[in-house]
Amino acid sequence: MVNTRNMFANVSTNGAWLHESIPMTDPTTVSGPVTTSLSHFCLRVYAALMTVPRGRVTTYGALARAIGCRSARAIGGALRKNPFDPRIPCHRVIAADGTPGGYKGRRNGEAITEKTTLLASEGVLFHNGRLADRGCFYEPPHAPSAIRTEDTA
């Protein structure tokens, strides 16, 4: 389980939580320049996304609510920039209608096949293009007010 209290505390300063929160075999894959080039908004999105457990999914809108953002599309934009996929599991975010949504900036083709394959490996299945079991849905916890700032993209 991810320690969200510490994660959200660190994200408000510099994104250092990425170094501590993402299991990696090669720690040089997350370097200072990568984390410093990410916006504070992206870091908040990634911190909230890290709370979504394996075998569960959330929606762009639920992730937006978790960080105090009014735009599900802004969440999609931040996920499209995710340089840490799949360690920051953007594949666990689906559309509100239960469809897979997008992945790696695409809404069809190989990217969506990859997304649904990753989700299937975690036990999340789709039937006729929609989430088969709504019990897989996860509502991320709301970030502390210090993280819920007005830069909502």
42, 69, 90, 136: which one is catalytic? 90
CA atoms within 13 A on the CB side of 40: 14
Residue 90 is among the residues annotated as catalytic for this protein: yes
Q: Give the Å distances, CA to CA, from 37 to 43, 84, 103, 151.
A: 10, 13, 21, 16
With 0-12 / 13-18 / 19 or more C-beta atoms within 10 angstroms meaning exposed / middle / buried, residue 91 is buried
Catalytic residues: 90
